[in-house]
Amino acid sequence: MNPLLILTFVGAAVAAPFDDDDKIVGGYTCEKNSVPYQVSLNSGYHFCGGSLIDKQWVVSAAHCYKRATNSKFSERGGIQVRLGEHNIEVQEGSEQFITAAKIIRHPNYNSNTLNNDILLIKLSSAAVINAYVSTISLPTAAPSAGTTSGGDLTHISTFFDRLLILTADYPDELQCLEAPVLTQAKCEASYSGRITSNMFCVGFLEGGKDSCQGDSGGPVVCNGELQGIVSWGDGCAQKNKPGVYTKVYNYLTWIKNTMASNS
């Protein structure tokens, strides 16, 4: 589980203590249908991303909960989960729109520190698994740091963020970024006193590429496993300020127990 992650994004801002400036910087448009586990959470507009981990369950960021419950929709049955999207402005025939039946935030989520920034969404009906929609595996080990040479990729994705260049308009198509997992020491040095054991950093210390307030709740995938959830960061693609992500591996027991008790 070395080097790079590939990140995909859909366009809402990353959580608080930080600028609400939505964009992936330094990325590219994902190959169509190459990220079938990516979902868009919608309450009349896209507000967060997420990942399909089971035919009836999505994982996202806990700080998306406030956006969901503060919208004109109610907590139960008011959030639409959109799967199989590539261009969010065009009906392409691959989409599935399913209402959320339950939104379950981690009980120890801290909105000030963003520790335990994870939530689960139970769909009102099971997704149909096909070429456009499929699940992503949960991690079998924690993410490990590595260099960018000769290793596996970490992948970040999002919809309609300015992943390409800072001055570009928001694209409507799913955007991707490849970036390295950083050591915990480098992560903690970048954000003194703010990194917990439930967080890890992905990005380039020299700046220039980042998930950058792009698509809270979206996936960070390494070696075909969901390693992270887009959580927070300072600024956009700034030097010594990499993106910070929720470490999914630390929540395997909570995820499995929550799904089992709400089956």
Answer yes or no: is pLDDT of 236 > 80: no
Nearest to 175 by CA among 60, 40, 20: 40
> Is 63 in the active site?
yes
Among residues 49, 6, 43, 52, the alpha carbon closest in space to that of 231 is found at 49
Q: Which of 117, 161, 210, 234 is catalytic?
A: 117
Residue 93 corresponds to which amino acid? G
Tens-place pLDDT, residues 85-95: 988 778 888 99
- Choosing from 22, 40, 63, 215, which is the catalytic residue? 63
Per-residue pLDDT at 159: 61
pLDDT tens digits along 71-87 = 544 444 479 999 999 88
Domain limits, the chain: 4-261
Query: For residues 73 and 130, which has the higher predicted lDDT (pLDDT)?
Result: 130
Concerning whether 60 is annotated as a catalytic residue, the answer is no
Active-site residue 216, yes or no?
Answer: yes
Q: How far, CA to CA in Å, does 226 sit from each of 1, 37, 60, 219?
A: 12, 10, 11, 7
**pTM across the whole model:** 0.84
Q: How confident is the model at residue 8 (pLDDT cuts 50, 70, 90)?
A: low
Q: 4-261 in CATH: which number?
A: 2.40.10.10
